[in-house]
Amino acid sequence: MKRNAFTMKLLPGNEAEYEKRHDEIWPELSQALTEAGVSDYTIFLDEESLTLFAVQKLADKHTADALPDLPIVRKWWASMAPLMETNPDHSPVCKPLREVFHHD
């Protein structure tokens, strides 16, 4: 199991809508994440900077790298694009984080 962490950035005024959409996450998207070996996925918000901090576990034989090719993921990105910083393909601008400490 590998831990994966990254940051994303919300646009001002979208905090409540971002949380609402995740509270109502599409079952097809949730299923795609599970099938790709993504688990224990949590997103935190720094309300001062609007930085989102995401952390997830990836199974040893995960296929998370293929998620961007799935239509359901692209549809989710398009729906979330008005709320956050995105790339031209509507994927969120993600900055990977290097793990420097872990304690079980």
Residues with catalytic roles: 22
Handedness of CA 22, 28, 31, 33 (dihedral sign): negative
Q: Assess contact for 84 and 11: CB atoms under 8 A.
A: yes
Question: What are the residues whose beta carbons fall under 8 Å from the beta carbon of 104, sequence distance 6 or more?
Answer: none
Longest Cα separation, the chain: 39
